[in-house]
Structure 1
């Protein structure tokens, strides 16, 4: 039996229309948590980019990588429009995932 893998291309923001970060992962919940607590040094941690605003799921890693690279080339306005098509109020899609862990 073939195992089905899931990959995610995601966009994080520091705040509404703030600094954006695009990434890829095979475990969206774990990766969102890592961003939330700033576990890895780098761009997202430096600029406080830890709110999950948008994501897409893929079963093929090559398609996910292609999409991530494509999105990174987009103009900022296009990325904002993509987020707002699905998430008009800029709700942190991962907010409820960590309330118990973070004591919020």
Structure 2
């Protein structure tokens, strides 16, 4: 089988998988990736005192501005504002607290 045909079939399979994933999660692969990164950042902001910039890069954002914009779009507040909320507010939102380190 020619290489171009194999590559074409693999691309079709990948598109079918992405379509199935999107139906299951309601998110595109890119949206799912961003949501996963923000949730990871949320845990680091909640459980550590690491700088916001360091967290942004560690979870996969290429620059701080993009991280803050995405975080705010997903959660309705900036990373700093989230960190400044009280453990009582985290509990009300259904988030477990492990104490800041």
Give the alignment's TM-score, normalised by structure 1.
0.27
Higher gyration radius (CA)? 2
Higher relative contact order (CA 8 A, sep 6+): 1
Task: From the two aligned structures, give the one with the greater helix fraction.
Answer: 2
- TM-score between the two structures when normalised by the length of structure 2: 0.28
